Amino acid sequence: MFLFGAATSSHQVEGGNHDNWSEWEEKTAEKKAESAKERKWPDYIRDMYPSPLSRENYVSGISADHYHRYEEDFDIARSLGHNAHRFSIAWSRIEPKEGKFDEKEIRHYRDVIAALRARGMEPFVTLWHWAIPVWFAEKGEWESPECVRYFSRFVKKVVSELGDDVHFWITLNEPEIYTSLSYLLGNWPPQRRSLAAYLRVLHNLIRAHKSAYEIIKKKYPNAEVGIAKNNIDFEAMGGKIMNRFLKFLGDWWWNSYFLDRISRHQDFIGLNHYFHSGINYGFEKNEKKVISDVGWEIHPESIYPVLKDLTRYEKPIYVTENGVADARDIYRESLIRETLKWVKKAKREGVDVRGYFHWSLLDNFEWADGYWPRFGLVAVDYKTLERHIRPSAFAFKKIIEKWEDS
């Protein structure tokens, strides 16, 4: 059976998280709101609550309060035809102090998993979706020589407590995005700008994944373990040698390097897909005819070459994220429809793709941009925390109902 669902991550929807991100938000929110004033915003974004011009937009705070409302949210997902759901476990809740595990929080995630199972939805559990405990950040996080040991201890605990009820594990979310933004470009905490640190962290994440894989498989040999990998459709324009060379570089470094290193330590490939990059003596030279609220090109056909390319690994593939920031819900339906058309084409041609998770179930806290980018199938009114199902979510439901697994 093909799996259909949506994805979320703990820091982005739960509310009340205390981690390296929440601390960084407190420090930077004021400044971000100030510099947002220099930018020209369309009215429908500027007039949102919270407005990108306000400090509240940049502090995750209570977020969508999914921590307390997950049952209601899963009822909605189920009513929309979802038979699977991807979410992440907040390391900072499970291990708020080094080596001290919080049993109450473990119970929370056990209840979350049970709530999914009770609704006939298959859980896909992410172990690390970017936010980390403050103590781990203070120890130098993924740069620390001890990082794999710290992460493994957390994974061991989670797996021993929750492993009976989980079949699909995603160890890491998008390692390249995180390392680039946090260690190379300095945009995200810990705001480092160092090529050496970037490479070190990337390699530590490779080791962290392998270790987590081994921990899970040792206890649960039948469990399926992978990562959520952000692959881009690099398109060499005009057949020029230089462009083909740059495409080779992009494919090698961005799309393949990490996966090649862990290829014997994964049972499936989780694909997060958002980007198409036209190459013409440089990256991102494509026209970007249609763009989302955050300026990203909407180009659903690009999932097809990316899926085809992944067949090299001879592993099942799950699309673990794909979505669009679209507060007016004018592009989401066609993005889903078109993307799934290309997924189906790839599948008919023999690509072993087994599921699609839309990003996201709910509007949520979009990292450094805060609340204004609206990615949800379900809109969240941040004043009342009421949920409003967007029309595209019903369209997605119809597509699910009509899907034939051929």
Chain residues that interact with ligand BGC, rule: CB under 6 A = 9, 12, 173-174, 177, 230, 272, 321, 359, 366, 375
Instruction: Tell me the closest approach of the beta carbon of residue 9 to ligand BGC, in angstroms.
Output: 5
Instruction: Tell me the closest approach of the beta carbon of residue 178 to ligand BGC, in angstroms.
Output: 9
DSSP state string for 40-77: ---HHHHTSSS-TTSGGGG--TTTT-HHHHHHHHHHHH
Instruction: Tell me the closest approach of the beta carbon of residue 221 to ligand BGC, in angstroms.
Output: 28
- Check: CB of residue 88 under 8 Å from CB of residue 46: no
DSSP summary character for residue 362: B
CB closer to ligand BGC, 163 vs 190: 190
The rounded distance, in Å, linking the Cα atoms of 362 and 375 is 7
Instruction: Tell me the closest approach of the beta carbon of residue 160 to ligand BGC, in angstroms.
Output: 26
CB closer to ligand BGC, 136 vs 375: 375
The rounded distance, in Å, linking the Cα atoms of 271 and 312 is 14
The rounded distance, in Å, linking the Cα atoms of 129 and 91 is 9
CB closer to ligand BGC, 143 vs 366: 366
Instruction: Assign 3-state DSSP to the chain and report helix, strand, coil percentages, each to 5.
Output: 50, 15, 35
CB closer to ligand BGC, 243 vs 272: 272
Beta bridge partners of 223: none
Instruction: Tell me the closest approach of the beta carbon of residue 125 to ligand BGC, in angstroms.
Output: 15
Give the position of tokens 């673990």.
320
- Check: CB of residue 213 under 8 Å from CB of residue 225: yes
Instruction: Tell me the closest approach of the beta carbon of residue 188 to ligand BGC, in angstroms.
Output: 11
Instruction: Tell me the closest approach of the beta carbon of residue 208 to ligand BGC, in angstroms.
Output: 17
CB closer to ligand BGC, 220 vs 283: 283
SS3 241: helix
CB closer to ligand BGC, 296 vs 403: 296
The rounded distance, in Å, linking the Cα atoms of 107 and 226 is 24
The rounded distance, in Å, linking the Cα atoms of 247 and 241 is 10
CB closer to ligand BGC, 234 vs 347: 234
Question: What stretch of H or E contains 135?
Answer: helix 134-138
